[in-house]
Structure 1
Amino acid sequence: MAKYLFLKHYVGGPAPVNDVPMDRWTQEEVDAHIRFMDDFADRLRESGEFVDAQALSPDGMWVRFDGEGKPPVVDGPFAETKDLVAGWMVVDVDSRERAVELAGELSAAPAAGGRPLGEWLEVRPFLDDRPNGTTSA
C-alpha cells in the first residue's frame, strides 16, 4: 500500500472543464458537490483506501523563520499567486494507477449546472524512505 495526497486547487493552475467560479454556484450546486465528496470518501472508507480529507478555509497566511525571533506573517493564502488549495484527501492504495483512477473520479465532482467540475488535482505520493534510513509513518 502507498499513501497519496490529492490537493484540490481552485482559481489558479490549469482551468477546469467547468470553470464557473464556486462563488457563483447556487446553494444546491454547492450542496451537490459536497454530497459527492462525502459519498466518494464513504466509498473509500468501505474499501479501506480512505485515510483523511479536509476542506480548507480561503483565509490563511504565509509564515516563515526570519532569524529575528518573531516570524513575519503575510496575509494570504495568495501572497504571490491566485492559486487556492481548497482541500485535500489522503488515500492508501495498492498502486500509482489506482491513485490516478481515484483522482480522475474525484475530479468529476459536480459543479455549476450539475456538470462535472473536471478540476486538475495534484496527486503526490508520500515519501516512504527518508534520507537517514527511517521510514515515514
Structure 2
Amino acid sequence: MPKYLLLKHYRGGPEQHRPVPPMDQWEPQDVEAHMAFLMHVNDLLKENGEYVDAQALTPDRTWVRYGGPDAAPVITDGPLPETSDLAAGWYMIDVDSHERAIELAAYVSSEPGPGGTPLYEWIDVREVMSEMPSTD
C-alpha cells in the first residue's frame, strides 16, 4: 500500500478559504476543539489501520548546514523569514490509493477553527517514494 504525507502548513499554500488569525490568537476553547479534532483523526486512522505517524511542529526553527571538515556547522534562524510559515505538522498514512489519501486530506481540511467554523485549510498531499528515481 502506498504511504502519503498529509502536510499541514501554518500559513503556506494557496490563498486561504477565509482569513483566520494565527492559533496563538484563538480563544482557548477553539484551540481545544481544534486539537480534539486532530486527535479524533489519529483515532480514526488507527481504527482503519491507516495510521503510520502524526506530529505537530512548533513555528520555531533552526537552519543548519555543513560547515566543512574543519568548521562547526553553520546555524541561523533561516535565510527566509517566510519559512516559518511552512510545516505545522503532518499525518503519515498508509492507504490503498491516492483517492483515499485525498479523501482523508479533505476531512483533515475541515478541522474547526475560531468559533468552531471549519478552516477548510490547504493540505499538501505527498506520496512517499517507494523506490529510488531512475537516473536514466
1:70-99 Cα distance to aligned partner (Å, 9 max, x none) = 1211115x7342523111110000000100
* Structure 2 gaps, min length 5: none
- Preserved contact between residue 19 and residue 117 of structure 1 (Cα < 8 Å): no
Identity %: 50
Q: Does 1:33 align with 2:42?
A: no
Equivalent positions of 1:1-137 (< 5 A) are 1-21=1-21, 22-67=23-68, 68-76=70-78, 79-81=80-82, 83-131=85-133
- Preserved contact between residue 9 and residue 88 of structure 2 (Cα < 8 Å): yes
Root mean square deviation, CA, Å: 1.8
Tell me how far apart the structure 2 counterparts of residues 66 and 127 of structure 1 sit (CA, whole Å).
29
* Structure 1 gaps, min length 5: 133-137
The runs of 4+ residues in structure 1 deviating greater than 6 Å are none
- Preserved contact between residue 16 and residue 119 of structure 1 (Cα < 8 Å): yes
Query: How high is the TM-score relative to the length of structure 1?
Result: 0.87
Tell me how far apart the structure 2 counterparts of residues 11 and 115 of structure 1 sit (CA, whole Å).
17
* Deviation of the 1:131 alpha carbon: 4.6
The 10-residue stretch of structure 1 (30-39 or 123-132) with the greater mean CA deviation from structure 2: 123-132
Higher strand share: 1
* Deviation of the 1:8 alpha carbon: 0.5
How many correspondences in the alignment?
131
1:29-78 Cα distance to aligned partner (Å, 9 max, x none) = 000000000011101100100111011111111111232531211115x7
1:82-127 Cα distance to aligned partner (Å, 9 max, x none) = 5231111100000001000100100100001111111111111001
